[in-house]
Amino acid sequence: MTIEEYLKLPGEELHRSIDRMKKERGAVFLVHNYQRLEVQRLADHIGDSLALAQAAARTRSRLIVFCGVHFMAETAKLLNPDGKVIMPDTGAGCPMADMVTPESLRTAKRGYGDPMVAAYVNTSAAVKAESDICCTSSNAVRVVGSLPRDRGILFVPDRNLGSYAARMSGRDLILWPGHCFVHDRITVDDVQKAREEHPRARLIVHPECRPEVAAQADEVASTSGMVKAVQERNGVDEWIIGTETGLVEQLAAAHPGKGIHPLAESAVCRNMKLTTLAKAAWALEHEAGEIIVPQAVAGRARLALERMLALG
């Protein structure tokens, strides 16, 4: 079928054809927490970038359909080189990942006297290849804390996650001036407004938020950390969620008895929303949108990811 034909089908029918093709082709769907709710329903594994990287490394399926953004699918391919990884929309990038290039990183390394480089997974494989170790939002503190004390550490590209990891680990980091525009534009005013509207709610924010916003929060966590907190914090039945709205929608659907409020309604990652049911069905049928990692960088990029995974 063509994409135009898929676009005409109602949601339930798309779900049925995707389920059928998934079985026929032995495909597995890895889906990030920020995806549209109807795409989240396709997931064999749903989670944050660390959980999805671990699922990609573990799966025995020959075909991985990655619903997220490009660096995440590339990470899946690096950790599962024999599998075929496809994306329903390969144009779904991460603007923050584009804020550091291998060339700009090499220049900075020379300028700072050859520091170690800790790279957030929100980077291209080419940047990971120039880095010593990767981290995600859920393990950045542990990764930074594991690095030797006799060398400088350059953290790329998110200055907000880097500053959080530095504060929590007590390590000095050289911060790259990158940021996620979705989280970076959440302000202390948003916090004040949300606290006034929901005075009993607990505030949990993503470490990509600015330090002054994180300082106002009751908890700071990755997207899967937020899911766990809302599930497990006994006696807390009202939350303000400081991250992208896909996760807020997931939590509201999963906990109809709890008050789940977005910290900022405007926190929408347009790239995460590029994946739709129709594109997923079309990509699966044609096994289109394959992710290929250039040989020249794959080995070194994989090493940086494996060093992170080895920390547990």
Binding region for ligand 13P (CB under 6 A): 33, 48-49, 122, 136-137, 180, 208, 222-223
Q: Is 53 in the site for ligand SF4 (CB under 6 A)?
A: no
What is the sign, positive or negative, of the torsion defined by CA atoms of 171, 172, 176, 180? positive
Comparing CB distances to ligand SF4, the nearer of 80 and 275 is 275
Q: How many chain residues are in contact with ligand SF4, going by CB under 6 A?
A: 12
d(CA 80, CA 95): 25
In angstroms, give the least distance from the CB of 158 to ligand 13P.
Answer: 9
Binding mask 258-287 for ligand SF4 (x = CB under 6 A): -----------x-xx---------------
Q: Which stretch binds ligand SF4 (CB under 6 A): 91-99, 124-132, 213-221, 232-240?
A: 91-99
Q: Which does 48 bind (CB under 5 to 8 A by kind): ligand 13P, ligand SF4, none?
A: ligand 13P
In angstroms, give the least distance from the CB of 272 to ligand SF4.
Answer: 6
Comparing CB distances to ligand 13P, the nearer of 122 and 131 is 122
Q: Is 180 in the site for ligand SF4 (CB under 6 A)?
A: yes
Comparing CB distances to ligand 13P, the nearer of 184 and 285 is 184
d(CA 52, CA 47): 6
Of residues 78, 85, 94, 304, which one binds ligand SF4 by CB under 6 A?
94
Q: Is 96 in the site for ligand SF4 (CB under 6 A)?
A: yes
Q: Is 95 in the site for ligand SF4 (CB under 6 A)?
A: yes
Q: Which does 169 bind (CB under 5 to 8 A by kind): ligand SF4, ligand 13P, none?
A: none
Q: Put the strands of the sheet holding 63-67 in their side by side order.
A: 45-47, 27-32, 63-67, 84-86
Comparing CB distances to ligand 13P, the nearer of 222 and 245 is 222
Query: Strand 202-205 and strand 219-220: pairing?
Result: parallel
Q: What single string gives the DSSP state of each residue in 197-237?
A: H-TTPEEEE-TTS-HHHHTT-SEE--HHHHHHHHHH-TT--
The single residue listed with the structure tokens 């991460």 is 94
Q: Which does 49 bind (CB under 5 to 8 A by kind): ligand 13P, ligand SF4, none?
A: ligand 13P
Structure tokens at 26: 């032995």
Comparing CB distances to ligand 13P, the nearer of 122 and 278 is 122
Q: Is 122 in the site for ligand SF4 (CB under 6 A)?
A: yes
d(CA 28, CA 243): 26
Q: Which does 223 bind (CB under 5 to 8 A by kind): ligand 13P, ligand SF4, none?
A: ligand 13P
In this structure, which long-range contacts are made by residues 174-181, counting pairs with CB atoms below 8 Å and at least 24 apart in sequence?
174/112, 174/115, 176/99, 176/100, 176/108, 177/99, 178/96, 178/99, 178/100, 179/96, 179/99, 179/208, 180/94, 180/95, 180/96, 180/122, 180/208, 181/95, 181/96
In this structure, which long-range contacts are made by residues 195-199, counting pairs with CB atoms below 8 Å and at least 24 apart in sequence?
195/240, 197/261, 198/238, 198/240, 198/259, 198/261
The helix (run of H) or strand (run of E) holding residue 188 is helix 188-197
In angstroms, give the least distance from the CB of 33 to ligand 13P.
Answer: 6
Residues that bind ligand SF4 (CB under 6 A): 69, 94-96, 122, 180, 182, 208, 244, 269, 271-272
